[in-house]
Chains A and B, each alone.
Chain A
Amino acid sequence: MLLRVARTLVGPADAEDLVQETLVRAWRFMDRFDGRHPRAWLLTILRNTNMNMHRRQRPDSVEDIGTYTSARPAFGAEPPSTEDQVMQSFLPHDLEAAVAALDPKFRTVLMLIDVDELTYAEAADALGVPVGTVMSRLSRARDRIRRQLRPQFAAAQTGAQR
């Protein structure tokens, strides 16, 4: 989970360093951990570590998006069923372009929740923003993607009606 989130926040090249430093700090501050919500605690340390490392915030750059769609399915990962492919009104490339076109602020939240599978609260911890901000950015990100894919949705609907 930490590696996925780190990758979304700083990119694939720096993700491992960030997680390593996060683990070292988490170990150092273990006595301050109250035993509740370990994921939230680690995500907060990850965010602070990232800020302290003075890394330039480099939310998933456009080039990085391609690695999500071009990577081969990992061993044991469910390949998309034929049924899913039929139901999809757009091609993977259409979605990739729509995500890449998002403002990084919106894209990062979308990636944290829909790809890294964090909850709203966890994404808020990872970014250091209120849950309401996460929700509004997520909503706008999805709305923009949907708007961008509208021609494909419309074409699929027309095809289905024939």
Chain B
Amino acid sequence: MIRAIRTMVTCRWSARRIQRYLDSDPAALLADDEIRRLEAHLAVCARCGAAAAEYRQINSALSRWTARQIPDPHSVERLHDVLDRLVRGEGT
């Protein structure tokens, strides 16, 4: 019983940190002890482990959109022209 409650509490604690753990964004890094605790929990909890795997899949699929969305080279060229004119003091 106590073990079940403890797992439940850790699941809630983990759920609030999984995305920050996966993102490793400099604005919201987890502390080393939080990372250790979370990784230990993900290794033994099927539900939280599956959640992390699902977030990874979503993230990996969305990063494929990035690769497919290279800006139009003509747009980039026109913007370079704008910058060149600004640098030459010609205005736009």
Contact = CB atoms under 8 A, between A and B. Distances in A.
**Dominant SS at the A interface?**
helix
Given A135-B28, A146-B58, A3 B76 contact: yes
Contacts of A113: 23
Contact of B19 (A77, A90, A99, A138): A138
Interface in B61-88: 61-71, 75-76, 78-79, 82-83, 86
B85 to A, nearest CB: 10
Interface residues of B, number: 34
B7 interface: no
A24 B92 contact: yes
Contacts of B23: 113, 120
B64 A24 contact: no
A74 B27 contact: no
Shortest beta-carbon contacts, A-B, top 4:
A74-B70, A77-B67, A68-B65, A114-B62
